[in-house]
């Protein structure tokens, strides 16, 4: 089966200590783990920035107004729920001026509630070697967004 492309936007959230927020998802079909920045599909008539802000609020409860700057296009190639996805996604930056802002899951759909295994605020050094990190070159994406990874 050919890979599916869906328009999507993600947000690299950076806290006051330079840690990056990753959501930990467990695929309900095959059980594999994925660690990725918040985000998801763009709805019809929605632009990438609006989608990034909406998805951030739905998945984390964090202030969507923190999503700023231009986006960086990232080619994604991954599997989720038995389907192969491939194509570009737009990544945005959001900075928060407190350490580890608390998250809320109120905006998640019921199937997302079941698939979300947790989250973590990780130092850039902790990203390397993290099993299931997607995109695998997230440190490069962070750098391209103008946020050079700080040392741990």
Residue whose pair of structure tokens reads 């945005």 in the numeric block: 92
Measured CA to CA in angstroms, residue 87 lies from 16, 111, 142, 147 at distances of: 32, 24, 19, 24
Measured CA to CA in angstroms, residue 95 lies from 8, 64, 98, 107, 147 at distances of: 20, 10, 9, 21, 10
SS3 68: strand
Predicted pLDDT of residue 151: 41
User: Is it true that the peptide bond before 131 is cis, omega within 30 degrees of 0?
Assistant: no
Share of the chain above pLDDT 90, in %: 57
Whole-number Å distance between alpha carbons of 131 and 24: 11
Predicted pLDDT of residue 9: 95
Overall residue count recorded for the chain in this entry: 152
Predicted pLDDT of residue 38: 96
Predicted pLDDT of residue 147: 67
Give the tens place of pLDDT for each residue, 118-141.
899 999 899 988 999 999 999 999
Instruction: Please state which CATH number belongs to domain 8-144.
Output: 3.90.79.10
What ranges do the domains of the chain cover?
8-144
Residues β-bridged to residue 149: none
């Amino acid at each position: 089966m050919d890979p599916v492309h869906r328009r999507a936007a993600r947000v690299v959230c950076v806290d006051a200590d330079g840690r990056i927020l990753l959501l930990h998802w467990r695929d309900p079909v095959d059980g594999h783990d994925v660690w990725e920045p918040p985000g998801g599909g763009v709805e019809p008539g929605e632009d990438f920035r609006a989608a990034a802000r909406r998805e951030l609020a739905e998945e984390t409860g964090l202030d969507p107004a923190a999503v700023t700057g231009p986006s960086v296009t990232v080619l994604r190639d991954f599997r989720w729920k038995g389907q192969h996805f491939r194509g570009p996604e737009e990544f945005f930056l959001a900075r928060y001026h407190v350490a580890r802002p608390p998250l809320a899951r109120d905006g998640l759909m019921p199937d997302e509630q079941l698939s979300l295994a947790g989250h973590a605020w990780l130092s850039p050094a902790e990203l390397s070697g993290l099993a299931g990190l997607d995109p695998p070159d997230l440190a490069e994406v962070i750098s391209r967004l103008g946020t050079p990874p700080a040392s741990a």
